[in-house]
Amino acid sequence: MSAGTSSSKLVITLGGIAVFSGVLLALTYEITKPMIAKNESEALEAAVFEVLPGAVARENFRLDDTGLRKVEEGSTEEPNLYAGINEAGERVGFALPGEARGYADVVRVLYGYNPENKQVVGLQVLSSNETPGLGDRIEKDPAFQENFTALDASLAHEIETVKNGEKTEPWQIDGISGATVSSKAIGKALRLSTNEWVPKLNAALEAGE
């Protein structure tokens, strides 16, 4: 067998393996996609209750330039914020998404917003690949999470992250020592999201939507 023939067979074999691997990967993705979507939905629902104290149920909403409208379960329209409902059937606030670049990857969060007092009242990290033991403290550090029990989101001042121990204002986030980039990513995610969504949400609520 010539060297050329052997090389051709090797190329064909490797090509076949690559095609097979691609098909297998695509099939695996299609099979697991419904399961992944279900898990993400359950995680999101649990996060809504975490970031909105007193919520026992949720309602899905879509907020855009046309206003605020409810999205019924099973609708093809994708919600982008969620209302928390307490046992008395009253809204206790809204859960809104935010994201910003951290140290290792994009940090995605869901936070609770109370329109009556214009405060962030809870925060949950939905996805993060920050450095274990340092960056992931944004998810686990109780002192850091305390920042989000009554964080001023009136937009009179922009939300910002300051160095650990230097917080003096209600719109400031007391950062984590040794995890500055990750702490700032949370502040940026909240600043960008509140600047975009809070004025629209407040306007829609004032209009009775």
DSSP code of 195? Answer: H
pLDDT at 6 over 70: no
Report the chain's mean pLDDT, rounded to a whole number.
Answer: 84
Whether 133 has a pLDDT exceeding 50, the answer reads no
Q: Point out which residues pair with 69 in neighbouring strands.
A: 62
Q: Where are the domains of the chain?
A: 42-206
Judge whether residue 39 has pLDDT over 60: no
DSSP 8-state class, residue 5: H
Instruction: Indicate if the pLDDT at residue 138 is higher than 90.
Output: no
Percent of the chain with pLDDT over 90: 54
More confident residue, 26 or 38: 26
Given a cut of 90, whether residue 98 has pLDDT beyond it is yes
Q: How far apart are CA 121 and CA 56, in angstroms?
A: 16
Give the range among 4-13, 48-57, 69-78, 113-122 with minimum mean pLDDT: 4-13
Looking at residues 62-74, what average pLDDT do you find?
A: 89
Q: How confident is the model at residue 44 (pLDDT cuts 50, 70, 90)?
A: confident
pLDDT (mean) for 165-194: 93
Report the C-alpha gap between 118 and 77 in whole angstroms. 28
Structure tokens belonging to residue 185 = 């990513």
Q: Which residue has the tokens 């695509």?
A: 26
pTM of the model: 0.77
